[in-house]
Amino acid sequence: MQAVQLHGGMGMTDELAVGDYFKRLTMIDPLLGDSDFHVQRYGEVMAA
């Protein structure tokens, strides 16, 4: 997020790689789960 703010509007365009990375990282949490989800899941598996 800091890289997008650093680059301003250019960070959200397809002209810079940071825009691609930001879009990819933005979609990873909804698709694969955020860190809280994985920590909870790991705890459940270790408790079983």
d(CA 26, CA 4): 12
The model's pLDDT over 1-48, given as tens digits with 9 standing for 90+, comes to 676 676 666 656 667 777 788 888 888 989 999 899 999 999 999 998
Identify the pLDDT of residue 19: 76
Identify the pLDDT of residue 3: 67
d(CA 10, CA 16): 7
Domain boundaries, the chain: 2-47
Buried b (16+ CB within 10 A) or exposed e, 28-47: eeeeeeeeeeeeeeeeeeee
pTM for the model stands at 0.50
d(CA 4, CA 41): 31
d(CA 46, CA 41): 9
Identify the pLDDT of residue 13: 66
